[in-house]
Amino acid sequence: MTGLDDKLTTKFRNTQEMLPYGRQSIDQDDIDAVVGVLKSPWLTTGPKVTEFEDAVALYVKAEYAVAVSSGTAALHCAMAAIGIATGDEVIVPAITFLATANCVVYQRAKPVFADVCPDTLLIDPDSVRSLITANTKAIIAVDYAGQPCDYDTLRAIANENEIALISDACHSLGATYKKSPVGVLADITVFSFHPVKIIAAGEGGMLVTNNKAYVEFSRSFRNHGMSIDQHQRTKDGVWHYEMKSPGYNYRMSDLHAVLGLSQLSKLPDFLKRRNEIASLYDAAFKGSALIQPLAVRSPGQHAWHLYVVMVNEQEISRDTLFAFLREKGIGVNVHYYPVHLQPYYREQQGCAEGDCPVAESTAQKLLSLPLFPAMGDKDVQKVIDTVKSVLLK
């Protein structure tokens, strides 16, 4: 324990509302759009879902899009669409949300955990190369915090080994890699519309691709494996449907879709503000003895879903700083504890400390600062001043 740890053990309770690490931005246009659907004949999967799919596909320059109930559902659809099954291996990064690995398990396959680059926490292509076996069928690249991965190298690895490349872009809607939008960099790209993500649909997810076969499979997979959904049957005036293989109820509702549509129109403004806040943090914490922001290496636009820093353990422990900032009303968070060290993967796959040393060492230092479009400059300055105040204790 450092001297700062000792000094910050006295508890301070702030009575004001906690400034969260992320939050949706909802305006009257969003509310009116949802009310409009409530007054329409369709609440579940209907015309607004198709409209939302078309709008997202157009935005990211993909040929097709399939809307589903969550980013997790979209990941599961992607794994099923590329044929992941028992005995297969899929390489995933150790630093990510649980769903990235769990979607592989849903298909009774094995996630194999790759280490991450120490300065960005993006999946390390060298680690990926070292893990490929005859059973490897895909790589899932995660655009951690909103920064696109090294897609040129990952695509080369995938092509060399004749395996699929999937982009978990749940953090990076609107980002670009070189001059290409996230959405056309992999065989399938997956987005999330959870309230803290780049745009909010309440809940929801989407996969985009240029592969028509993946789309046809996913549309059926999200709807119990049925060949045609209720909206299309009503539109065509038919009742008959078939099920060639079981699927799931992963449908998106028109309520969620219309909110997503309304939010999508604001995406450029959301991205602009996220980048402004990140720039303010960058300037404030450049050369800080307390925290170090993650490096930006991608040759393109960062989406800044998260602003992640690494805490200098020589000055203070991450957990002490976490507790202090939250007591001061700054709703910091941690993204993420290494997935391979979760009890399930330890017990079921024999994962252990030492498997991904970079992920394990950096995870003890990670802290996510508040960043969302509705933050005012005063909110940002409060975060900056509160973090800097720690060195004055």
Section 280-289 average pLDDT: 96
272 shares a domain with 258: no
- Average pLDDT of the chain, as a whole number: 93
Q: What is the CATH number of the domain that holds 253?
A: 3.40.640.10
324 shares a domain with 223: no
Q: Decide: pTM greater than 0.85.
A: yes
283 shares a domain with 255: no
351 shares a domain with 289: yes
Alpha-carbon span 107 to 135, nearest angstrom: 14
Under 8 Å between Cβ of 218 and 187: no
Task: Provide the terminal-to-terminal Cα distance of the chain, rounded to the nearest Å.
Answer: 15
pLDDT band (50, 70, 90) for residue 13: very low
Q: Which domain holds residue 380?
A: 3-23+267-392
Paired sense of beta strands 64-68 and 188-192, if any: unpaired
Question: Where does a domain end: 230, 264, 298?
Answer: 264
Section 337-347 average pLDDT: 98
Question: Where does a domain end: 264, 292, 325?
Answer: 264
Alpha-carbon span 241 to 234, nearest angstrom: 12
Give the tens place of pLDDT for each residue, 244-256: 888 999 999 999 9
Give the tens place of pLDDT for each residue, 19-65: 999 999 999 999 999 999 999 988 888 899 999 999 999 999 999 99
As a residue count, the chain comes to 393
Sign of the torsion angle spanned by Cα atoms 26, 52, 193, 277:
negative
Under 8 Å between Cβ of 115 and 127: yes
Alpha-carbon span 102 to 104, nearest angstrom: 5
Residue 352: partners with Cβ closer than 8 Å, 6 or more residues away:
341, 346
Distance of CA 152 to the CA centre of its chain: 20
What is the token pair recorded at 104? 């592989």
250 shares a domain with 171: yes
Separation in Å, CA 310 to CA 94, 116, 283, 319, 369? 17, 14, 16, 12, 11
130 shares a domain with 34: yes
Sign of the torsion angle spanned by Cα atoms 133, 139, 140, 141:
positive
pLDDT band (50, 70, 90) for residue 231: low
271 shares a domain with 258: no
User: How many domains does the chain fold into?
Assistant: 2
233 shares a domain with 290: no
190 shares a domain with 338: no
Residue 138: partners with Cβ closer than 8 Å, 6 or more residues away:
79, 82, 84, 88, 90, 91, 163, 164, 165, 166
Section 312-332 average pLDDT: 96
Q: What is the CATH number of the domain that holds 319?
A: 3.90.1150.10
- Which residues are tagged catalytic? 197
353 shares a domain with 322: yes
Question: Where does a domain end: 264, 285, 306?
Answer: 264
249 shares a domain with 291: no
291 shares a domain with 162: no
